[in-house]
Amino acid sequence: MRAKRSKKYRKLMHQYELTFGFREAYQVLVDSNFLQQVHNFKMDLLPALERTVQGKVKPLLTKCSLAAITAAQPINPKTGKPFRPYHLPPPTILPLRHCSHNPESEPIDEVDCLLSLLSPNAEVKKNKEHYILATADPAVKKSDNNNDNQQRKRKRDEEREEEQALRRARNLRVRARSIPGVPIIYVKRSVMVLEPMSTPSENVREGVERDKFRVGLPEPQPKPDEAAEGAAKKKIPGLKKAKGPNPLSMKKPKKRAAESGPAKTPKNSDATQASKANVAGDQPDGEEGGAPKTKRRRRHHKSGPREENEDGAPSTEAGQAMEVDA
């Protein structure tokens, strides 16, 4: 299973390389939810990422993602600053990606930040920096089932917040898929998954494939027409097939003609005479030519070859047919 998946992912990344110019080490933009889930499921960031894309990676954290992570942290009363989150790897493993969205370089919404890096131009959606997006659904907090009224209200608020966070995470993925050439990694039930190519990516890839195809073939346009013609031609053999049984049934009239009119050609008359001799019961003489004759008969009447030999007449009839054919 694992081998099958890694093969699939290698193939997928190869397609990103061919179509969109991705190269190792792949730059991976990781978001806050992703880091949280990697920590929750006790994954090792770098090896897990490299196993997923089947190649070397360079993970990056934007300043806005960092701001989102620290904003969610409780304040350390001793320092007056947020606690360093457990799920935030050191900068040696996860360096900062400086993103200046405004002159003050104030952090903006994480989703907006990531999308602006994935596609700097909102009009022409293009992932020109070849980023991979690593994201996840937000971790669901386990809330204790207290029946306290105040607790229940807090729980409702939490649920609403979770729902919003989930919607934001899904929205990020949906919008990232709309940009062609953005590989998306996400954590799903303790497994790191590389999404299949999105439809916009697939469309670009197919365009590239078609162009390659055109180079090889000088006339791509008549192809469908030829195919249609081919289909039409196939119908004609079908009609011949319908005629097919008729030539087979025609054989009998031919034989009858040979029998009724013995003097068509000298050869034919000889054959009829020989056959008449066979009918007379001169079996041993007719055996030389008789062996193939009977064989032919057998093909047509597998059920009763013996009877024919005893009769003699049917075999000679077949023999004539053969001669007429030849």
Which stretches of the chain bind Zn ion, using CB under 5 A?
Answer: 62, 64, 99, 113
Q: For the residues of 223-245, what is the DSSP string, one character each? A: HHHHHHHHHHHHHHHHHHHHHTH
Q: Which of 169, 274 has the CB closer to Zn ion?
A: 169
In order of 208, 215, 232, 255, the CA distances from 223 in angstroms are: 19, 15, 14, 48
Nearer to Zn ion, 113 or 182 (CB): 113
Q: Give Cα 19 distance to the centre of its chain.
A: 17
Return the beta strands (E) in the chain as ranges: 26-30, 57-62, 75-76, 81-82, 96-97, 131-136, 184-188, 191-194
* Closer of 99 and 115 to Zn ion (Cβ): 99
Nearer to Zn ion, 62 or 268 (CB): 62
CB of 136 to Zn ion, least distance (A): 19
Closest approach, Cβ 115 to Zn ion, in A, equals: 10
- Strands 184-188 and 191-194 turn out to be antiparallel
Q: Closest distance between Zn ion and the C-beta of residue 108, in Å? A: 6
Q: How far is the CB of 99 from Zn ion (least distance, A)?
A: 3
Whose Cβ is closer to Zn ion: residue 52's or residue 65's? 65
CB of 67 to Zn ion, least distance (A): 8
The nearest distance, CB 13 to Zn ion, in angstroms, is 26
DSSP string of 164-176? Answer: HHHHHHHHHHHHH
Terminal alpha carbon distance of the chain: 63
Burial class (CB in 10 A: 0-12, 13-18, 19+), 310: exposed
Query: Which residue's CB is nearer to Zn ion, number 5 or number 168?
Result: 168
Q: Which is nearer to Zn ion, 96 or 313 (CB)?
A: 96
**CB nearer to Zn ion: pick between 134 and 258:** 134
Q: Are 19 and 204 in contact (CB under 8 A)?
A: yes
Neighbours of 19 (CB within 10 A): 19
Residue 318 C-alpha from the chain's centroid? 56
144 HSE (CA, 13 A, CB side): 5
Minimum CB separation of residue 65 from Zn ion in Å reads 7
Q: Minimum distance between the CB of residue 51 and Zn ion, rounded to whole angstroms?
A: 28
CB-based contacts of 138, cutoff 8 Å, min separation 6:
33, 36, 162, 165, 166, 169
- Please state at what angle helix 45-53 crosses helix 32-40, rounded to 10 degrees: 110
